[in-house]
Structure 1
């Protein structure tokens, strides 16, 4: 089992990071929270979850152990797979997610793509007690690096949304609208806002 991968960050998009370690390049799926934390760094360390299926071998990487812990809790809920868990962790920070679960706020959880009311309620029921017994909610989030090149942010946000499974046309529409309202928004913020609107 891989506990973590530490090495040079050679490529990064809001949905995927490539870390080179001893001549091997690992393609690792990341959430927006992890993307924010490692963006702009040369050397990184990501805590890994390996998803081994008959048809795929997928690595999920997290900047903190707390975020990985939350991911593991989310995928333990019936009907929540790795991509849905990553989507939830992209829409909410670990501490926001802990607050949503402990306060039973199914309406906010329902705003995440692919999460209906029943699934949101199931997450809250299944994880409420588990969240209160862990120290997950105490994780810190780093401030995003703002980029002024609007076009670059637009392209990156669209690429990330299509990688997360959204159709290109609606993604372009939503991202364009967000950038019109907030031209100085960092790419993570644009994607987070888009996730709530799509």
Structure 2
């Protein structure tokens, strides 16, 4: 299983790129979203999904891991193959697709070429919970990257509070008020712990 392939781009089209790596050229199918990210580059790194069938061995490449995760979720839905998933990611950005699924926007998903009413509903039913979890994890990861959160957490630990419960409280505070200052986070956390 390939995780990623990096190298020199020898050919880039809206449907695929050819990446040269150690004397080998890999033809990698891509979405328009990924094409926009790599079209002006001479070298790139693409995260890979292998699609091995009886009649073909295909590689699908993504400019970021989030897009690959959404692609893999889409192909897990009955009736959606790799090319349909790629078409969906070419029609909408990963964020737009995530939002359409989590808000149950059938019409927006149905507007994608090749997706009918039943398929759009199936995508929503099967992926709403999964997409929600991924979005929540990404939001928490962004909150944890916040230096105010780190400072507040270290202050709480120095005050004698356990790290795990303190982390949960800080995450909760930042989820409700993402722009909180360190002092405000600590004050609210002390009330909650």
TM-score between both structures, scaled by the size of structure 2:
0.70
Counterpart-to-counterpart distance in 1, 2:105 and 2:132: 15
SS of 1:78's equivalent in the other structure is coil
Whether the aligned pair in 2 keeps the contact of 1:46 and 1:63 (CA below 8 Å) is yes
Partner of 1:181: none
SS of 1:135's equivalent in the other structure is helix
**Which structure would you say has the larger Rg?**
2
SS of 1:10's equivalent in the other structure is strand
Q: Does 1:28 align with 2:36?
A: no
Whether the aligned pair in 2 keeps the contact of 1:8 and 1:20 (CA below 8 Å) is yes
Counterpart-to-counterpart distance in 2, 1:136 and 1:50: 27
Q: CA RMSD in A?
A: 1.5
Residues 52-131 of structure 1: matches in 2 within 5 Å? 52-131=52-131
Stretches (4+) displaced over 2 A: 135-139
Higher relative contact order (CA 8 A, sep 6+): 1
Number of residue pairs aligned between Structure 1 and Structure 2 = 139
Superimposed CA distance per residue, residues 20-71 of structure 1 (whole angstroms, 9 cap, x where no aligned partner): 0000000000000000001110110000000000000000000000000000
Counterpart-to-counterpart distance in 2, 1:53 and 1:91: 25
Counterpart-to-counterpart distance in 2, 1:118 and 1:136: 27
Superimposed CA distance per residue, residues 78-124 of structure 1 (whole angstroms, 9 cap, x where no aligned partner): 00000000000000000000110001001011111110000000000
Partner of 1:2: 2
Partner of 1:162: none
Counterpart-to-counterpart distance in 2, 1:73 and 1:136: 16
Counterpart-to-counterpart distance in 2, 1:12 and 1:138: 30
Whether the aligned pair in 2 keeps the contact of 1:94 and 1:137 (CA below 8 Å) is no
Structure number having the greater helix percentage: 2
Counterpart-to-counterpart distance in 2, 1:13 and 1:55: 24
Whether the aligned pair in 2 keeps the contact of 1:67 and 1:136 (CA below 8 Å) is no
For structure 1, the 5+ residue unaligned runs are 140-198
Superimposed CA distance per residue, residues 172-195 of structure 1 (whole angstroms, 9 cap, x where no aligned partner): xxxxxxxxxxxxxxxxxxxxxxxx
Q: CA deviation at 1:135?
A: 3.5
SS of 2:11's equivalent in the other structure is strand
